[in-house]
Amino acid sequence: MAINERKVAIVGCGFVGSASAFALMESGLFSEMVLIDVNRDKAEGEALDISHGLPFAKPMQIYAGDYSDAGDAAVVIVTAGAGQKPGETRLDLVKKNIGIFRAIIPEIAKYNTEGILLIVANPVDILTYVAAKLSGFPENRVFGSGTVLDTARFKYLLGERLKVDSRSIHAFIIGEHGDSEIAVWSSANVSGIPIHDICEMRGFYEHEKAMKDIADDVKNSAYRIIEKKGATYYGIAESVRRICEAIIRDEKSILPVSSIQHGEFGVEDIALSMPAVVGRSGVQGTVPIRLSEEETKALLASAETLKVVLDDAF
């Protein structure tokens, strides 16, 4: 089936799927959006509710459907799966959500052979790998939201601390979207000014402590939010919108999405996040940012953590 460049499908209409649908409706990027959920009423309810915002946005068709309706979607976003409960890590979800993916991914691939699969459900790195294998899609067309959200949290926290616009901060979280993720301090900068220099310009000198506190804060953001309100969804919804924008507008933006690595920094046959060029054909290659020795070691440890979980579960 020929792809409709203006169509998106969302599989899973819980907190994350519906917030992403809302963000995409507001964005005006697509003119058709199909919502798919095992709970059909939920998908229909969300489609109606979000459609009622259309007179304030841009015209589009939003409806509940099934996998055959996703056959011509340019992007299929998968958010279906159990979420973390308070105290649960993302890796704890692995068996449950691989089971759900064994049901969903072949259904998507039965009807859609040319679209991009954007994986959001957790553990996102493991599920990205699983989706690539189960779909048989070329690897550039299967990737996960990865640490796009963690990187946004990182920039937000740095922006708040330094009192600068978070969009002027260039810094990445890489590796697992989870406990073993790495804050890449060695290349972090604000409009070209190395991070430690701008910290000192703003009156902050205890770099070691600040780096640890901020990286921990990023890592623990989801746990804190889940403890207070049961789920996280607005930050990830904006991340999904941003990734779709890079794809549909063929922006070739550099985003830390999760994709299967082949030897970069010695990471082999595992999906994790590295800054990558994202455009209409999906992931068009990773960007070899400079890492310190310590960051490289941490990246390899992150990959090993994921490998152990993957080998055990898939």
Helix (H) or strand (E) holding 285: strand 282-286
Smallest gap from residue 219 Cβ to ligand NAD (A): 13
Smallest gap from residue 131 Cβ to ligand NAD (A): 13
Contacts of 167 (CB under 8 A, 6+ apart): 155
Could you tell me if 140 and 118 are in contact, meaning their C-beta atoms sit under 8 angstroms apart?
no
Could you tell me if 146 and 166 are in contact, meaning their C-beta atoms sit under 8 angstroms apart?
no
Smallest gap from residue 289 Cβ to ligand NAD (A): 21
Nearer to ligand NAD, 118 or 198 (CB): 118
Give the tokens for residue 255. Answer: 């985003």
Write down the catalytic residue from 52, 170, 177, 196. 177
- Provide the Cα torsion 89, 131, 306, 187; round to 10°: -90
Give the tokens for residue 17. Answer: 């799927």
Smallest gap from residue 215 Cβ to ligand NAD (A): 17
| Closest by Cα among 134, 34, 125 to 75 | 34
Does the annotation mark 177 as catalytic? yes
**134 pairs with which residues across the strands?**
none
Smallest gap from residue 278 Cβ to ligand NAD (A): 15
Nearer to ligand NAD, 84 or 286 (CB): 84
Nearer to ligand NAD, 12 or 115 (CB): 12
Interface residues with ligand NAD (CB under 6 A) are: 11-17, 37-39, 42, 79-84, 93, 97, 100, 103-104, 120-122, 124, 145, 149, 177, 231-232, 236
Contacts of 266 (CB under 8 A, 6+ apart): 296, 300
Nearer to ligand NAD, 63 or 204 (CB): 63
| Closest by Cα among 289, 270, 256, 17 to 146 | 256
**Secondary structure class of 39 (helix, strand, coil):** coil
Nearer to ligand NAD, 30 or 143 (CB): 143
Give the tokens for residue 194. Answer: 């190395």
As a whole number of Å, the end-to-end CA separation of the chain is: 30
Residue ranges of E strands in 102-186 = 116-119, 142-144, 169-170, 173-174, 182-183
Give the tokens for residue 239. Answer: 């991340």
> Distance between CA atoms of 309 and 268, rounded to whole angstroms?
15
Nearer to ligand NAD, 73 or 198 (CB): 73
Smallest gap from residue 16 Cβ to ligand NAD (A): 3
Q: Which residues are catalytic?
A: 177
